[in-house]
Amino acid sequence: MAEKPKGKGKRTEYAGADFEREFEEKTIEIRRVAKVVKGGRRFAFRVTVIVGDRGGRVGAGVGKATTVPEGIRKATGRARKNMRRMNVYFTTIPHVVVGKVGGAEVLLKPASPGTGVIAGGGVRAVMQAVGIQDILTKSMGSSNIHNVVMATMDALDQLTSIEELATKRGKDSKEVKPFWDRGKKNGS
């Protein structure tokens, strides 16, 4: 039987530090919110955080606390719990999709390689965290950052793989791929 290594647990601390480096965390928004009570207003901070591995996994979390560091800690924990794998197609997405949350709508369109991330604010942060490098986006309706981030997550959840999309439409997967990957027609 192998003996357990003696010491103060430095091996586990190192492994934990390695795990922390694996994910990219971005604090999207820190907003002061108020609850009206009998004696006046109670202030707290609402923090929105995105966590991703730049390899197709991403999660969003919201934390509320009386101090900012505590809010960030809560939001980061919730974002890690909510991490989900998204269907990406190389450096873009397989098809056009619209996500809606509250009054915010986010349109995501695939883009050819070299286009870059054409997005603003919260949408850009989510795209970078999931690892998408070429995409066109449009945020419509409400500009509330929290709702825009959640609408982006909703849109990414709706994505299906090229194979699933082809079977759903009754076509070959080559016909469903984005136009820049279909190849030239008629052999020219």
Confidence of residue 13 (pLDDT cuts 50, 70, 90): very low
Average pLDDT estimate for 68-95: 93
pTM for the model: 0.82
> Which residues contact residue 62 at a Cβ distance below 8 angstroms, ignoring those fewer than 6 apart?
46, 47, 48, 49, 75, 78, 146
Query: For residue range 114-158, what is the model confidence (pLDDT) as tens digits?
Result: 999 999 889 999 999 999 999 999 999 999 999 999 999 999 999
pLDDT at 174: 84
Contact (Cβ atoms closer than 8 angstroms) between residue 108 and residue 96: yes
**Rounded to an integer, what distance in angstroms lies between the CA atom of residue 96 and that of residue 169?**
15
> Which residues contact residue 26 at a Cβ distance below 8 angstroms, ignoring those fewer than 6 apart?
49, 50, 51, 125, 128, 129
Query: For residue range 29-50, what is the model confidence (pLDDT) as tens digits?
Result: 999 999 999 999 999 999 999 9
Q: What is the DSSP track for the chain?
A: -PPPPPSSSHHHHHHHHHHHHHSEEEEEEEEEEEEEETTEEEEEEEEEEEEE-SSSEEEEEEEEESSHHHHHHHHHHHHHHT-EE---BTTB-SS-EEEEETTEEEEEEE--TT--EE--HHHHHHHHHHT--SEEEEEEE---HHHHHHHHHHHHHH---HHHHHHHHTS-HHHHS-GGGS--GGG-
**Radius of gyration of the chain from Cα atoms?**
21
Structure tokens given for 58: 């991403």
